[in-house]
Amino acid sequence: MTFDQHSVRLAVLIDADNAQPALIAPLLAEVAKYGTAHVKRAYGDWTGTGLRGWKERLLSQSIQPIQQFAYTNGKNATDAALIIDAMDLLYTDRFDGFCIVSSDSDFTRLASRIRESGLTVYGFGERKTPQPFVHACDKFIHTENLAREHPVKPTQGVASTKSMAHAPLTELVQDTALVDLLQRTVDAASGDDGWAHLATVGHILTKQRPDFDSRTYGYAKLTDLVTATDLFDVDRRLPGGGRPAVVYVRDRRHPSL
Mean pLDDT for 100-108 is 95
Q: For residue 34, what pLDDT is reported?
A: 95
Model confidence at 257: pLDDT above 60: no
**Position 203 confidence tier, pLDDT thresholds 50, 70, 90:** very high
HEC letters along the chain: CCCCHHHCEEEEEEEHHHCCHHHHHHHHHHHCCCCEEEEEEEEECCCCCCCHHHHHHHHHCCCEEEECCCCCCCCCHHHHHHHHHHHHHHCCCCCCEEEEECCCHHHHHHHHHHHHCCCEEEEEECCCCCHHHHHHCCEEEEHHHHHHHCCCCHHHCCCCCCCCCCCCHHHHHHCHHHHHHHHHHHHHHCCCCCCEEHHHHHHHHHHHCCCCCHHHHCCCCHHHHHHHHCCEEEEEECCCCCCCCEEEEEECCCCCC
Model confidence at 111: pLDDT above 70: yes
> Which residues have CB under 8 Å from 20's CB, separation 6+?
143, 157, 158
Where is average pLDDT lowest: 38-47, 66-75, 193-202?
66-75
Residues 169/242, Cβ–Cβ less than 8 Å = no
Higher pLDDT, 167 or 51: 51
Angle value at C-alpha 167, between 162 and 168, nearest 5 degrees: 130
Mean pLDDT for 6-19 is 91
Q: What amino acid is encoded at 35 in this protein?
A: G
Q: What is the pLDDT of residues 161-193, one digit of tens each?
A: 444 567 666 788 788 999 999 999 999 999 999
In percent, the amount of the chain with pLDDT more than 70 equals: 87
Q: For residue 5, what pLDDT is reported?
A: 57
All domains in the chain, ordered by first residue: 5-156 (3.40.50.1010), 169-251 (3.30.420.610)
Question: With b meaning 16 or more CB within 10 Å and e meaning fewer, what string describes 118-132?
Answer: ebbbbbbbeeebeee
Judging by DSSP bridges, how do beta strands 246-251 and 196-197 pair with one another?
Answer: antiparallel
Q: For residue 119, what pLDDT is reported?
A: 97
Where is average pLDDT lowest: 11-15, 57-61, 122-126?
57-61
Mean pLDDT for 222-246 is 88
Q: For residue 117, what pLDDT is reported?
A: 97
Strand partners, 101: 14, 124
CA distance 72 to 24: 28
Q: What is the mean pLDDT of the chain?
A: 87
Q: For residue 2, what pLDDT is reported?
A: 44
**Position 121 confidence tier, pLDDT thresholds 50, 70, 90:** very high
Q: What is the pLDDT of residues 128-167, one digit of tens each?
A: 999 999 999 999 999 999 987 655 554 444 444 444 567 6
